[in-house]
Amino acid sequence: MSDMSLNSRPASGLLGSALRSPSFMIGFLLTLLFVLAAVISFFWVPYDVTVLNIPNKLKAPSLEHWFGTDIFGRDIFSMIMVGARVSIAVALVAVGIGIVAGVPLGLLAAARHGSLLDEVIMRGNDLVFAFPALLIAIMITAVFGPGAINAIIAIGIFNIPVFARLARGAALSLWTRDYVLAARVAGKGQARISAEHILPNILNLLIVQGTIQFSLGILAEAGLAFVGLGTQPPLPSWGRMLAEHQTLYALAPQTVIFPGLAIVLTVLGLNLMGDGLRDIFDPRLRRAR
Amino acid sequence: MQSHIRTFAIAGVLAVSTALTPAAFAADTEVTLGAQLEPPNLDPTGGAAAAIDEVTYSNVFEGLTRFTSDGSVVPGLAESWEISDDGKVYTFKLREGVKFHDGSDFTAEDVKFSLDRINAEESTNAQKALYADIESVEVVDPSTVKVTLSKPNGSILFNLAWGDAVIVAPETAATNATNPVGTGAFKFDDWVEGDHIDLVKNPDYWGEPAKLEKVTFKFISDPNAAFAAVMAGDVDSFMPFPAPENLAQFEADPRFNVVVGSTEGETILSTNNKQPPFDNPKVREALAHAIDRSAIIDGAMFGYGTPIGTHFAPHNPAYVDLTSQSDYDPEMAKKLLAEAGFADGFTTTLKLPPPSYARRGGEIIAAQLRDVGIETEISNLEWAQWLEQVFKGKDYGLTIVSHTEPMDIGIYARPDYYFQYDSPEFQKIMEDLNNTTDPAKRTELLQAAQKKIADDYVNGYLFQLANTGVVNAKLKGIWPNRPTQANDMTSVYWED
């Protein structure tokens, strides 16, 4: 590659600054915790979350049930593990939709900067952006019925303009660079330049934004589930756990504290990690160190 | 100096305590009731919503007969009546000196107008079927009305007690939806949509006047907000209270009484009898045995509710306990499913309306059905969607709902009703019932009807909804039971 990117450094350098960044490390560890919980839940959970045990309901946290039991006597710890799987899957696919659809759109718009196509793409994105995301998500699930799949699609659609704008903005500034000019002189087409020279150089921005969008996706999934439009029972979901137990906050606080904490910590972790990543990738900040 | 400080401290405490309880001083003739659902309009003769009756029944509007708290039917605007020997002609003697809230007199003409209106072609009455047997209404004199039936109907006095048959004046009938004018002990005062409805005492009431000057219905749909409103004293009574899990907290608080009464709400796992595989009685029988009622009552209702084995209220004298016929027996359920050709189970839909009995009960039932091999796809619906998809569209496999109308076993005789049970045998029983006035014979027929639907396992019969609510300990006269959809405030008062 002729254009070993402007920002890239030896991996050990990146790792080193990562290890030195406390916000990245805290965020990374929190995220890792929930990803691990989700992964482990595929192989093992303390209790089956689809089996109700009503005589055992609303038990306080104990050695047997670390986080206590919910209104149907299910183990809250197990539900949070499986719920992590749902949250992460929904957010991951939603961010994936945003990247897969949004980034090429943004790159295309940047390549054809000033053309009608650019206008159409960007105004289309503005249109989607103009609506409050959660409102449209509620509309989509109301029309097509509630469920995890529709929640993913709804959240995913709102990630498209985020990535399209980011990609276009970052790509535009790169199109004026000399190495892009050199590539054009060498006869490379717009598509090839976008893929070979632009994309690798905006990747760090996309990763940072992806992390932030990921946390917003988790929040959106919890919000949709809270109003009953996300994942449907019996699959546990953090948002629905909160909604189902909101009248029990005084009687059995563990039923709302733990799912609430799970949401807060995951979102916090992802945001810290995103902030940390931005600092690590940002050459100006790196030079200052 | 020290005593000064103490005086200030006491004065401060007094000031705070009066500031916190302004209601305690103003409330001796005013009551604020909490309710979860706001009525769409205030005309009980023009809509099915229970919330309409919950505000207006007996308070604003009255019928010829009326329900009392224990569910019996007593004279209302009709003082007395005579029934002809063939059971077809009812002659009602009306009360005299009754005035509508707008000052006009209540006469036999109003009765004729109201009853004719129910059966008119353009009528939007939600319970038309109850009054279909009324052939003609004749004004004998201003205080006598003769109602002629096309065939004897033993339940007509009962049917006339429903909110759907209240007497309205021709002049105001068209505007009752927003400005109800009736004959009741309370007059409509104000409606702030989305918030509250005020009723004030009717000083010219014909009967015993109301003890309260003002009744406010405050609409709070969120159970958490309802809990906070009761705890803060913003509402004096909330019946039924939407979250049974909070009742224990009210019970522990001396300011409140927790009331547990009966309702007419048979909570059932409604089954689409025309949708395969539920068209197979064996599958429905398996369903009945797969359900553990006690787990549902305990898990969804925190123990409030009475198990039922058929579509009938257990507090009714004609009730037969058929719960043992559909005992919880998952092995039996699996065997029946295998006999029906579903040894590997099947998948169906479970569509749940918003109340917690449905949402929570649905999750429990889904888990119980999973144990016998029936997978359910749960979808939580809002009431409007539920009415559209399930009640009208009949696009469902299973649903959970509480049928709160009194004595509504007759719905099983309607083949186009949403659970689509079509049994000529049952329809015959209902027809016989309508043609019978002898109480002993009627009881016999009602019991035959209960057994028939239990034998056919039409629906999964879960429990009778309890009327659980919370009332300020000083407020007296609130109906503990809910024989119909009503909050009768006419004899409610504050105890000193």
Residue B267 sits in a domain of what CATH number?
Answer: 3.10.105.10
Residue A100 domain boundaries: 16-50+66-288
What count of residues does chain B have?
496
Give domain status of residue B133, yes or no: yes
Q: Both tokens of residue A273?
A: 């990690």
CB-based contact A146 B245, cutoff 8 Å: no
- From A231's Cα to the closest Cα of chain B, the distance in A is 10
- From B393's Cα to the closest Cα of chain A, the distance in A is 16
Distance CA B270, CA B459 (A): 5
pLDDT-derived band at A6, boundaries 50, 70, 90: very low
CB-based contact B366 A234, cutoff 8 Å: yes
Q: Are A106 and A100 in contact (CB under 8 A)?
A: no
Q: Both tokens of residue B432?
A: 């016989």
- Which of A234, A246, A251 is closest, CB to CB, to B367? A234
Distance CA B457, CA B237 (A): 38
- From A71's Cα to the closest Cα of chain B, the distance in A is 7
CB-based contact A246 B362, cutoff 8 Å: no
> Which is more confident, A249 or B425?
B425
Distance CA B246, CA B251 (A): 9
Domain of A246, CATH number, reads 1.10.3720.10
- From B459's Cα to the closest Cα of chain A, the distance in A is 23
The whole-number pLDDT of residue B21 equals: 45
Domain of B487, CATH number, reads 3.40.190.10
Are B479 and B372 in the same domain? Answer: no
**Closest chain B residue by Cα to residue A244:** B360
Domain of B153, CATH number, reads 3.90.76.10
Q: Which residues contact A22 (CB under 8 A, 6 or more apart)?
A: none
The whole-number pLDDT of residue A207 equals: 87
The whole-number pLDDT of residue B11 equals: 43
Are B403 and B350 in the same domain? Answer: yes
Tell me the whole-structure pTM to 2 decimals: 0.76
Residues in chain B closer than 8 A to A146 (CB atoms): 379-380
Q: Both tokens of residue A269?
A: 């972790």
- From A249's Cα to the closest Cα of chain B, the distance in A is 10
> Is A233 in the B-facing interface, judged by CB distances under 8 Å?
yes
Give domain status of residue B487, yes or no: yes
The set of long-range contacts for A134-143, using a CB threshold of 8 Å and a minimum separation of 24, is: A134/A220, A134/A223, A134/A224, A137/A220, A137/A224, A137/A229, A138/A224, A138/A227, A138/A229, A141/A224, A141/A229, A141/A230, A142/A229
> Is A234 in the B-facing interface, judged by CB distances under 8 Å?
yes
Q: Which residue from A1, A9, A38 is spatially nearest to A235, judged by alpha carbons?
A: A38
Are B428 and B280 in the same domain? Answer: yes
For chain B, how many helices (H) and strands (E)?
14, 19
CB-based contact A145 B249, cutoff 8 Å: no
- Which of B249, B295, B364 is closest, CB to CB, to A251? B249
Give domain status of residue A57, yes or no: no
CB-based contact B379 A250, cutoff 8 Å: no
Give domain status of residue A98, yes or no: yes
Start-to-end CA distance of chain A, whole Å, equals: 28
Distance CA B459, CA B386 (A): 18
Name which of A1-10, A187-196, A223-232, B86-95 the model is least confident about: A1-10
Q: Are B380 and A146 in contact (CB under 8 A)?
A: yes
Give domain status of residue B244, yes or no: yes
Distance CA A234, CA B377 (A): 9
Return the sign of the alpha-carbon dihedral for residues A201, A204, A205, A206. Answer: positive
- From B342's Cα to the closest Cα of chain A, the distance in A is 22
Residues in chain A closer than 8 A to B366 (CB atoms): 233-234
CB-based contact B364 A72, cutoff 8 Å: yes
CB-based contact A233 B363, cutoff 8 Å: yes
**Closest chain A residue by Cα to residue B354:** A228
Q: Both tokens of residue B311?
A: 């579509």
Q: Both tokens of residue B120?
A: 């008119």
Give domain status of residue B201, yes or no: yes
Mean predicted confidence (pLDDT) in A125-136: 82
Q: Both tokens of residue B444?
A: 């016999």
Distance of CA B421 to CAs B124, B132, B314, Å?
Answer: 25, 21, 22
Of the residues B128, B145, B175, which one is the last residue of a structural domain? B175
Q: Are B402 and B267 in contact (CB under 8 A)?
A: yes
Give domain status of residue B6, yes or no: no
Give domain status of residue A169, yes or no: yes
**Closest chain B residue by Cα to residue A145:** B379
pLDDT tens per residue across span A88-107 = 888 899 899 999 998 889 88
Give domain status of residue A175, yes or no: yes
pLDDT tens per residue across span A32-71 = 999 998 899 888 888 888 888 888 888 888 888 888 888 8
Are B460 and B471 in the same domain? Answer: no
Interface test with A, best of B363, B369, B468 (most A CBs within 10 A): B363
Q: Both tokens of residue A251?
A: 């009687």
DSSP string, A171-196: HHHHHTSHHHHHHHHTT--HHHHIII
Distance CA B428, CA B443 (A): 15
CB-based contact B366 A233, cutoff 8 Å: yes
Neighbours of B419 (CB within 10 A): 25
Interface test with B, best of A48, A50, A54, A242 (most B CBs within 10 A): A54
Are B30 and B152 in the same domain? Answer: no
Which helix (H) or strand (E) is B189 found in, with range?
A: strand B186-192
Mean predicted confidence (pLDDT) in A259-285: 85
Are B328 and B350 in the same domain? Answer: yes
Q: Are B17 and B24 in contact (CB under 8 A)?
A: no
Give domain status of residue B5, yes or no: no
- Which of A54, A228, A234 is closest, CB to CB, to B295? A54
HSE on the CB side for B127, CA within 13 Å?
24
Question: pLDDT averaged over chain A?
Answer: 83
Distance CA B58, CA B62 (A): 5
Interface test with A, best of B374, B378, B381 (most A CBs within 10 A): B378
Give domain status of residue B278, yes or no: yes
Q: 3-state SS string over A140-177?
A: HHHHHCCCHHHHHHHHHHCCHHHHHHHHHHHHHHHHCC
- Total domains present in chain A: 1
Distance CA B119, CA B135 (A): 9
Give domain status of residue A11, yes or no: no
> Is A182 in the B-facing interface, judged by CB distances under 8 Å?
no
Give domain status of residue B36, yes or no: yes
The whole-number pLDDT of residue B139 equals: 93
CB-based contact A233 B362, cutoff 8 Å: yes
> Is A71 in the B-facing interface, judged by CB distances under 8 Å?
yes
Give domain status of residue A25, yes or no: yes
Phi, psi torsion values for B472, nearest 5 degrees: -55, 135
Q: What is the DSSP letter of B392?
A: I
Are B407 and B341 in the same domain? Answer: yes
Are B386 and B331 in the same domain? Answer: yes
Residues in chain A closer than 8 A to B364 (CB atoms): 52, 54, 72
- From B176's Cα to the closest Cα of chain A, the distance in A is 34
CB-based contact B364 A54, cutoff 8 Å: yes
Q: Which residue from B487, B458, B171, B292 is spatially nearest to A52, judged by alpha carbons?
A: B292
Residue B82 domain boundaries: 65-175
- Which of A54, A72, A248 is closest, CB to CB, to B245? A248
Q: Which residue from A34, A75, A45, A48 is spatially nearest to A214, judged by alpha carbons?
A: A34
Residues in chain B closer than 8 A to A51 (CB atoms): 367
CB-based contact A55 B362, cutoff 8 Å: no
- Total domains present in chain B: 3
Does the structure's ipTM exceed the value 0.85?
no
The whole-number pLDDT of residue A283 equals: 62
Of the residues B175, B192, B223, which one is the last residue of a structural domain? B175
CB-based contact A52 B224, cutoff 8 Å: no
Are B336 and B286 in the same domain? Answer: yes
What count of residues does chain A have?
289
Mark out the alpha helices in chain A (DSSP H runs): 11-20, 22-43, 76-111, 116-130, 133-144, 148-157, 160-175, 178-185, 190-193, 199-226, 238-244, 254-281, 283-288
Q: Which residue from B445, B396, B435 is spatially nearest to B418, judged by alpha carbons?
A: B396
Residues in chain B closer than 8 A to A232 (CB atoms): 377-380
- From A48's Cα to the closest Cα of chain B, the distance in A is 12
Q: Report the alpha-carbon angle B78-B81-B87, nearest 5.
A: 135
DSSP β-bridge partners for residue B469: B259
- From B143's Cα to the closest Cα of chain A, the distance in A is 53
Distance CA B156, CA B81 (A): 12
Give domain status of residue A202, yes or no: yes
Are B277 and B230 in the same domain? Answer: no
Are B95 and B227 in the same domain? Answer: no
Q: Which residues of B384-415 are buried (b: 16+ CB within 10 A; e: fewer)?
A: ebbeebbbeebebbbbbbbbbbbbbbbebbee
The whole-number pLDDT of residue A284 equals: 63
CB-based contact B299 A233, cutoff 8 Å: no
Give domain status of residue A5, yes or no: no
CA dihedral B455→B459→B462→B468, nearest 10 degrees, is -120
Q: Which residues of chain B have pLDDT under 50?
A: 1-25, 27
Neighbours of B110 (CB within 10 A): 25
DSSP β-bridge partners for residue B466: B262
Are B222 and B286 in the same domain? Answer: no
Phi, psi torsion values for B221, nearest 5 degrees: -85, -25
